[in-house]
Amino acid sequence: MRELEQIRNEIDSIDMQLIELLEKRIDCVIEVAEFKEKHRIPILNKAREEEVISKNSRYLKNKMYYDAMVDFLSSNMRISKELQNIYMNSERYGLLGEKLGHSISPMIHSLALKETGNRGFYRLFEVDRGCLKQWFEETKDKGLKGINVTIPYKIEIMNYLDKISDEARRIGSVNTVYFKDGEAIGYNTDYNGFGKLLSKFKIRVDEKKIVILGSGGAARSVLCCCIDNNAEEIFIVSRGGNKNKEISGAKVISYDELYSLDNKDIIINCTPCGMYPLVENTPIKEKVLSKFQTAVDLIYNPQETIFLKSAKNLGLQCVNGLYMLVAQAVAAQEIWNDIKIDDSIIDKIYMKTMEMI
Ligand code: NAP
C-alpha cells in the first residue's frame, strides 16, 4: 500500500492538470459566448448539456462513478453559463503579450473594477511574434474596451493604432489601448505608474544622478519621468553601449562604462534580468551597487530579485515594481472608464495584491 503522502502527491499533480484544463475550457467557453453573441443564440442549451453528459459517460471505466461524473460535469456547465453571462454583460479588457504565464494583471484589474464599482472581464491574449498585426486586425472590432500591452509589443503596437497620446508618442511606447468610437487609441501609463512609485516611496529624483539599466519601453517611460522631475544627470546603460543609440535627455553607456562611473544616487533596473522564471539572473555585478543610495527594480515577480537582495545587503533603499504595476493598471482603468481614481485605492489594491501573491 502506498504512503498517504505519495497518494496526496499524485492528487496534487492531478489537480494541477485539472486547473490547466479548466483554464483552457474557460477560454473555449468565452469563445462560445462570442459566437453566441454574434449569432444571437441564447446561453442555455439543455440538449447540448444532456449530450455532454451522455457522451462523456462512455469514457467512464468504472460506472460506479456515474453520479460523481454527472455532478462534476454539471458543475462545470453551471460555471460556464455563469461566466458566459458575466462576459456578455461586462466591459471587456485584456493583456496582450507574447508570454503571459502567471501574470497578475487580471487580479489587479479585477480588484480595481470592484473598487470602482465597474463590471469587467479581463483576459490574457498570448500572441506569437510576427502575428501581432493579424491579431490586432482580427480583434479590433470584437467589442473589447481596452487592452494593456506588455513585452515585446509596446513599440510595434504603435504601427496599428489610429491615434497615439502625446505622452506615449514622446516616450515612444504604448502600454494601454482604448477602443473608442471605432478607433484604437494608444496611451502610456507606465510613466504615470513610475511617478506614483516615486511619490509612494518618497524617492526624489530632482537634482539626482540616475542610472537606468536597459533601453526598452519601460526604460523610456522611466527616463521621461526622471527628466520631467528635474533629475540632474541620467545614464542609460545598454548592452550595445551608445552604438546606434541616441536617446535624448540621457547619456547612453555600456556596462563596462558603468563600472568606471563615480558615485551616483539612484539605480533603476528596467531590464527583464532576474524576472521569473530566470530568477538567478541579475543585470549587474553586486559591487557597483555600493555607488548608489537607492535601487529600484521594475520587476515584481519575484518581489525580491537578486539585484534588490544585493542592494539590501549593502544598505540601499530598495523598491520593487509592484506598486508601479498597480498604479499603471489603475491609470488604465481611469482612461478606459473616464474616471478619476483616488491614490488611496492604489494603496488598497497594492496591499491586497501583496497578500494574494
Ligand atoms: P523591453 O522593451 O523588452 O526592454 C528591455 C530592455 O532590457 C531591452 O531593451 C534591453 O536593453 C534590456 N535587456 C533585455 N534583455 C536583457 C538581458 N538578457 N540582459 C541585459 N539587458 C537586457 O521590456 P520592457 O517593457 O522595457 O520591460 C522591462 C522590464 O520591466 C520587464 O521585467 C518588465 O516586466 C518590467 N516592467 C515592469 C513594469 C511595472 O509596472 N512594474 C512596467 C513595465 C515593465 P539593451 O538592449 O539596451 O541592453
Q: What is the pLDDT of residues 206-256, one digit of tens each?
A: 999 999 999 988 999 999 999 999 999 999 999 998 876 778 899 999 999
pLDDT in the model for residue 357: 84
Alpha-carbon distance of 327 to 192, in angstroms, equals: 7
State phi, psi for 177 to the nearest 5 degrees: -120, 135
Alpha-carbon distance of 307 to 289, in angstroms, equals: 9
Centre a 10 Å sphere on the Cβ of residue 205 and count the other Cβ atoms it contains.
24
Helix (H, G, I), strand (E, B) or coil at 269: strand
Q: Which atom of ligand 1 is nearest to the CA of 272?
A: 32
For the entire predicted model, the pTM comes to 0.90
C-alpha cell at 196: 506614483
pLDDT in the model for residue 38: 87
pLDDT in the model for residue 142: 82
CB of 219 closer than 8 Å to CB of 270: yes
Alpha-carbon distance of 284 to 69, in angstroms, equals: 54
Burial class (CB in 10 A: 0-12, 13-18, 19+), 183: exposed
pLDDT in the model for residue 161: 97
User: Does any ligand 1 atom lie closer than 6 A to the CB of residue 324?
Assistant: yes
User: Does any ligand 1 atom lie closer than 6 A to the CB of residue 272?
Assistant: yes
Closest Cα to atom 8 of ligand 1? 216
User: Does any ligand 1 atom lie closer than 6 A to the CB of residue 216?
Assistant: yes
Give the catalytic positions in this structure.
Answer: 154
Q: Which residue has the cell 551616483?
A: 264
Q: Which atom of ligand 1 is nearest to the CA of 271?
A: 7
Alpha-carbon distance of 118 to 112, in angstroms, equals: 8
Alpha-carbon distance of 16 to 29, in angstroms, equals: 20
Alpha-carbon distance of 267 to 203, in angstroms, equals: 12
pLDDT in the model for residue 244: 64
Cα–Cα distances (Å) from 145 to 75, 92, 130, 341, in that order, read 30, 5, 24, 18
CB of 212 closer than 8 Å to CB of 237: yes
- Spans in the chain with pLDDT lower than 50: none
Alpha-carbon distance of 316 to 284, in angstroms, equals: 15
Q: Which of 226, 146, 191 is nearest to 328 (CA)?
A: 191
Percent of the chain with pLDDT over 90: 87
